[in-house]
Amino acid sequence: MKLQPFKIALTCTFVFSAFTVMAQEMQLIAPMSGTSTFIGKQMVKGSGQDAADDACKAETAATATDTALNNGARFIYGLPCIEALDAAADRVVASSNDSIILALGVEVDDITNRDKRAHWPVFRLGPKTSDEAVIIGEYLKASWRDKPFAIIDDGTLYGRQLAQDVRALLEDDKLTPVFTDTYRPLLERQAGLVRRIVKSGATHVFVGGDAYDVSIMGTDAQAIGADLVFAGGSAFLAPPADGTLPEGAQFAGLSDVSKSTDGAYFAALAKAASQIGTQALNYAKDNDTTMARAMTAQAFETDLGLIRFDLNGENDRQWFSVFEVKGGKPTPIQENNG
């Protein structure tokens, strides 16, 4: 059967109209100005959708969110900066719209805490801070069970929290460090610290710090003939300019998505988020239900694998694996791929 021109035109109009409605219902909000612009650009690249600028600022994010809501957005995603995310979430709560936010790459644990704030609309795609401590802590429980170990940190919020969380996990299993300390980061030498660690009898050291400091410690340990094994978190994975990790160093790192300065991590998150958004919107329409229900009632097929969200807005993907430095390169020794 040959379609008449006006029927073809009408069909194209309906398809275009449906696409336009779906595009309006999904809104990417990301930093398109300021120091975090590279993140926003990669989110645009990954999602294939234009972004409203939040500039990583609360006021700008609130304005962008209000505009999105007024245009009928039901699935708002991006918002990688915590201040912008909080402001956007407040605007969604204040709105009468049936809308949710999927935050990308925000690791602060309590952004999904429903106990603090009623009708909180935030879901998370990406790991949370405590996930890193859990994966390396559980690994060390087994591999360091009969080893005398030290736990040290650089005094930063990240380093101190990671060290405290890992220590708590180990002590829950009756494993106690023989030495603890907070060191001064970014020194050209850490010989004094290394000698104190060796004197304590520790042969293994968990470091709540970054690659630069660990590389210095490794060099100083080698200089005095001390055979120390270092372990830490994702800050161990850094550009070569930050130093060379000691051979045998173990750390928790993202399994299969590079969290690098080129923003590939955020592009991957944004692409998966756009896939989730399309499926959630379709589910809500097909089942005449809310977006919050659509986000928790099904598993989503994405380029990052099958992803589910619980009632608190947390995803079930295992983001971290444990790596060991072998021949100067990180090699997975315990993988979690989703």
Beta pairing, strands 329-334 & 122-125: unpaired
| Residue 169 domain-assigned (yes or no) | yes
Residues 104 and 164 in one domain: no
CATH code, domain with 198: 3.40.50.2300
Range of the structural domain that residue 218 is part of: 130-255+320-334
From first to last of its 338 residues, what are the pLDDT tens digits of the chain?
454 554 444 444 444 434 445 668 999 999 999 999 999 999 999 999 999 999 999 999 999 999 999 999 999 999 999 999 999 999 999 999 999 999 999 988 888 887 766 678 999 999 998 999 999 999 999 999 999 999 999 999 899 999 999 999 999 999 999 999 999 999 999 999 999 999 999 999 999 999 999 999 999 999 999 999 999 999 998 777 778 999 999 999 988 654 544 568 899 999 999 999 999 999 999 999 999 999 999 999 999 999 999 999 999 999 999 999 999 888 998 555 45
Residue 101 near residue 52 (C-beta atoms within 8 A): no
Spatial separation of the C-alpha atoms in residues 76 and 89, rounded to whole Å: 10
The one-letter code for the residue type at 60 is T
Helix%, strand%, coil% for the chain, nearest 5: 45, 20, 35
Residues 52 and 121 in one domain: yes
| Residue 313 domain-assigned (yes or no) | no
Residues 250 and 134 in one domain: yes
| Residue 315 domain-assigned (yes or no) | no
| Residue 314 domain-assigned (yes or no) | no
57, HSE (Cβ side, Cα atoms, 13 Å): 10
| Residue 42 domain-assigned (yes or no) | yes
Name residue, tokens 């800050």.
235
